[in-house]
Structure 1
Amino acid sequence: MLQRPTLWRMKDTPANTAPALTFTPTRAAGLERLEAFLPRAGRAYADGRNHDLPGHPHVSSMSPWLAHRAITEAEMAGRILDRFGPATAEKMLSEIVWRAYFKGWLERRPSTWTDYKRGLKGARDRLATSSGLRRAWEEACGGTTGIAPFDDWAAELVNTGYLHNHARMWFASIWMHTLRLPWELGADFFLRHLLDGDAASNTLSWRWVAGLHTKGRPYPARASNIAKFTGDRYDARDLGHRLTPSGEIEALDGPPHPDPQAVPDDVPLPSGRIGLLLHEDDLHPDYLLARGLEPAGTAAFIAPAGRSPLTIASHVTHFTTALAQNAVSRADAQGPVTTDGEEIAAWAKDFDHIVTPYAPTGWLRDALDDLPLQTHRPLRDWDAAAWPQATAGFFKVKKKIPDILDTIPSDCGH
């Protein structure tokens, strides 16, 4: 590994000794993390959420469980509202609903996901023909660019599978606007390593920083902002020599957004002997059981390799697999947890119908659609309330947050 110039080293402060977060792949661990965060979900979160400090004390770090819906957004919002009023918890509730906004936006414009995959293939082809691009990409992924915070974030991501949201924005901005690397390669780097990797949030967040989601408005990584919100771990003056001045940042060019498609329809539960097929995008069938589903067997289908054409980090595969196994272990009649579509098809032969939670646009949905069986896919009330509003920016969804919160079951989280 290249030695980092002394100019860019992290400042030696006591905060740097905080232990890294760990993520145990069980629903119980997610509920425990949520319970520990609840006292900070109100004003404390609003005041501290933008600070990327070692140990991430100001944010919930719930995203690895939320991304797989081992803990649902409704559960988390419900527990927060048990403690705080909507006004006090407004910032946290907005962040939770933002996930639904991004999922709804991509669900209604699935060609954006297809375009990302096409763009990634083109960028990977360029890696094979441009030695300069490949070297810059390898330095960025390996955390050897000489830009201290960027390199530290790359190492944190690879080692822990997690980054603070503000760090993700800075990282993406430096990747695109300072290092001039294709955004699709950066989005792919995240998906290969993030425990909370999500097709909608990841793709659209990178596009937002690029100035593609909100047209013409890229997000700049400013040295003063990085220093301020990382507890002055980095010297703003020195860092400023390496970052692209904000006035020189230009939005990436891209086609207009496609027109939004209709929101998918909900479907009723079938009758007969039912097999419940969970999947890595939704591992807690609370809403299906509340509708009267009594599965005669439960299995789980996962497809972590679908995140990228490159190798997926082992911690991602392990976390996804173990979390799915944990979900199936709570069922009465336990079936396989597998990446093998033929194994799922063989298991499904024991049932009259297969019910699976609705899978939004992304790699899991691509894999689910390729399974050699038909499934019934009911929609969550949370998504059905949020997705119709995902026609443009977040503001329209934000106005409907009270309606979305009204879908929370009275006993959610208990």
Structure 2
Amino acid sequence: MTDESAAPAGLFAPTRAAALERVAAALPRLGSAYGRDRNHDRGLGEASTVSALSPYVRHRLLTEHELVSAVIERHGHRAPEKFVQEVFWRTYWKGWLELRPQVWRDYVADVTRLMSSDEHPLPVDETLRDTYRDAIGGRTGIDGFDDWARALVTDGWLHNHARMWFASIWIFTLRLPWQLGADFFLRHLLDGDPASNTLSWRWVAGVQTRGKTYQATAENIARFTDGRYRPRGLATTAEPLDAPPPPPASAAPEPRPLAPGRALLLLGEDDLHPESLALGGIDVVAVVRPERGAPRGPGRAAEGVQAFQRGALADAGRRAGEHFGCAESVIEEVRASELVALARTHDVSRIVTAHAPTGYAADALARASAEAAADGVVIETVLRGWDARAWPHATRGFFPFKERIPALVRDAGIGA
């Protein structure tokens, strides 16, 4: 059996220092070379055509502002245009889902309906189980697909183009529900992001951009894997799946000023650079970090994902304690009972934390916030300027959003 906890830690050390080292190594290829070669999947390492920074950006061990600033400082504005757009794709997906949280709730309900809630969940529909087992175990006999399934489990990462091929084969060739594929990804990807993951699978299935699907072909796979894979027997059609249209966009969250005073600072897996949070006049009396991230789906996250989350949270806790000059307290997970007890220990009634975008962590925080408020402890969230400026423009498709990227970069004070 593969040791799931070993490989990801070797490929992606869960620290900000490791993120900064990888940025420095990746920067030379993130200009025009990235735009030319990014669709080629040559794996990780020196031959990589992508940055492989997504686990760090997803958890904000490295912020989008820092990354875009570094790339533009190195290459100017024009050469890294495609890379900057890809960074903003993640921002766009988060904003799109933030404005339509019902899409996330529907996805969670679908996974709950389709999947058992055991430690090692399987489809409730017995007719799907053998195909599902073969798919996640890399035993379908489909060239490329099986290697990607095994790499996902052992490495916790896949090239973005491979993710698209995998999702297309899962949906249109294997005829498995897209929600179960999205759940498999989310539980195994170190960069598993509720918005990017859920909406990308919806897009491949033809329910995100209505009527538009993504079809994997042997020719495309062979071309962009430099001939390593040429699968046979793929679906020759990719008809959009039936689904209701998404709800209209709601109002984007807005930044709320924090009144001065004493408070606990709660760390969350979505934002692990607390040193750059705009906390105003808050006197941080203690840093609180959960031992682990929020659950991902009906089953537990893979061991490698859990190890990365634990390491990243611990790294952020150490940095935050040093930055704010205060003690660090560790709780098992984000629960009201533990937070209220710590607030009383430190004689405060306020907890501040970075805004958690729509997803499992936000769901856990919302539950804790409601329960803590009943005990007289208020949890206040801090919305980063990056999100506050960008999310209101995620009301339509990506291409209208893309037109605003130059202005968003300028408004962030980058490359002025």
Give the alignment's TM-score, normalised by structure 1. Answer: 0.89
Distance of aligned partners of 1:22 and 1:127 in 2 relative to their CA distance in 1, 3 Å threshold: closer
Report the alpha carbon displacement of residue 81 of structure 1 after superposing the two structures with TM.
1.2
| Residues 274 and 353, structure 1, Cα contact 8 Å, conserved in 2 | yes
Distance of aligned partners of 1:340 and 1:94 in 2 relative to their CA distance in 1, 3 Å threshold: closer
Superimposed CA distance per residue, residues 311-343 of structure 1 (whole angstroms, 9 cap, x where no aligned partner): 321111110111011001012222225315132
Are 1:53 and 2:48 an aligned pair? Answer: no
State which drifts further: 376-385 or 216-225. 376-385
- Report 1:7-406 matches (<5 A): 22-55=11-44, 57-124=48-115, 130-234=125-229, 236=230, 239=231, 241-245=232-236, 248-289=237-278, 291=280, 293-301=282-290, 304-330=293-319, 331=321, 332-333=325-326, 334-341=328-335, 342-349=337-344, 350=346, 351-371=348-368, 372-373=371-372, 374-406=378-410
State which drifts further: 402-411 or 361-370. 402-411
Structure 1 residue runs without a partner (length 5+): 2-18
Report the alpha carbon displacement of residue 209 of structure 1 after superposing the two structures with TM.
0.5
Name the Cα RMSD after superposition: 2.2
For residues 301 and 386 of structure 1, the distance between their equivalents in structure 2, rounded to whole angstroms, comes to 28
For residues 62 and 396 of structure 2, the distance between their equivalents in structure 1, rounded to whole angstroms, comes to 27
| Residues 279 and 302, structure 1, Cα contact 8 Å, conserved in 2 | no
Report the alpha carbon displacement of residue 292 of structure 1 after superposing the two structures with TM.
5.1
Distance of aligned partners of 1:309 and 1:378 in 2 relative to their CA distance in 1, 3 Å threshold: same
| Residues 280 and 302, structure 1, Cα contact 8 Å, conserved in 2 | no
For residues 9 and 289 of structure 2, the distance between their equivalents in structure 1, rounded to whole angstroms, comes to 30
For residues 21 and 396 of structure 1, the distance between their equivalents in structure 2, rounded to whole angstroms, comes to 39
Q: What SS does the corresponding residue of 1:308 show, helix, strand or coil?
A: coil
For residues 28 and 62 of structure 2, the distance between their equivalents in structure 1, rounded to whole angstroms, comes to 18
Superimposed CA distance per residue, residues 3-50 of structure 1 (whole angstroms, 9 cap, x where no aligned partner): xxxxxxxxxxxxxxxx99700000000011011111111011111110
Distance of aligned partners of 1:410 and 1:44 in 2 relative to their CA distance in 1, 3 Å threshold: closer
Superimposed CA distance per residue, residues 146-173 of structure 1 (whole angstroms, 9 cap, x where no aligned partner): 0020000000000010000000000000
Whichever residue aligns with residue 281 of structure 1, its letter is: D
Whichever residue aligns with residue 299 of structure 1, its letter is: V
Give the alignment's TM-score, normalised by structure 2. Answer: 0.89
| Residues 382 and 407, structure 1, Cα contact 8 Å, conserved in 2 | no
State which drifts further: 182-191 or 266-275. 266-275
Q: What SS does the corresponding residue of 1:227 show, helix, strand or coil?
A: helix
Q: What SS does the corresponding residue of 2:161 show, helix, strand or coil?
A: helix
Q: What SS does the corresponding residue of 2:164 show, helix, strand or coil?
A: helix
Report the alpha carbon displacement of residue 296 of structure 1 after superposing the two structures with TM.
2.0
Distance of aligned partners of 1:290 and 1:49 in 2 relative to their CA distance in 1, 3 Å threshold: farther
Superimposed CA distance per residue, residues 223-261 of structure 1 (whole angstroms, 9 cap, x where no aligned partner): 001001111002x3xx2x31011xx21011110110000
| Residues 324 and 337, structure 1, Cα contact 8 Å, conserved in 2 | no
Report the alpha carbon displacement of residue 59 of structure 1 after superposing the two structures with TM.
0.6
Q: What SS does the corresponding residue of 1:295 show, helix, strand or coil?
A: strand
User: After the TM superposition, which segments of 4 or more aligned residues of structure 1 sit over 6 Å from their partners?
Assistant: none
For residues 43 and 269 of structure 1, the distance between their equivalents in structure 2, rounded to whole angstroms, comes to 42
Q: What SS does the corresponding residue of 2:266 show, helix, strand or coil?
A: strand
| Residues 22 and 160, structure 1, Cα contact 8 Å, conserved in 2 | yes
| Residues 107 and 361, structure 1, Cα contact 8 Å, conserved in 2 | yes
Whichever residue aligns with residue 388 of structure 2, its letter is: A
2:375 corresponding residue in structure 1: none
| Residues 272 and 352, structure 1, Cα contact 8 Å, conserved in 2 | no
Distance of aligned partners of 1:283 and 1:129 in 2 relative to their CA distance in 1, 3 Å threshold: closer
Superimposed CA distance per residue, residues 276-334 of structure 1 (whole angstroms, 9 cap, x where no aligned partner): 11100111124424745442221123663521111321111110111011001012222
Structure 2 residue runs without a partner (length 5+): 2-7, 373-377
| Residues 178 and 243, structure 1, Cα contact 8 Å, conserved in 2 | yes
Whichever residue aligns with residue 212 of structure 1, its letter is: V
Report the alpha carbon displacement of residue 127 of structure 1 after superposing the two structures with TM.
5.6
Report the alpha carbon displacement of residue 65 of structure 1 after superposing the two structures with TM.
0.8
For residues 101 and 128 of structure 2, the distance between their equivalents in structure 1, rounded to whole angstroms, comes to 29
Distance of aligned partners of 1:408 and 1:129 in 2 relative to their CA distance in 1, 3 Å threshold: closer
Q: How many residues align?
A: 389
- Using the aligned pairs only, state the percent identity: 48
State which drifts further: 192-201 or 269-278. 269-278
1:12 corresponding residue in structure 2: none
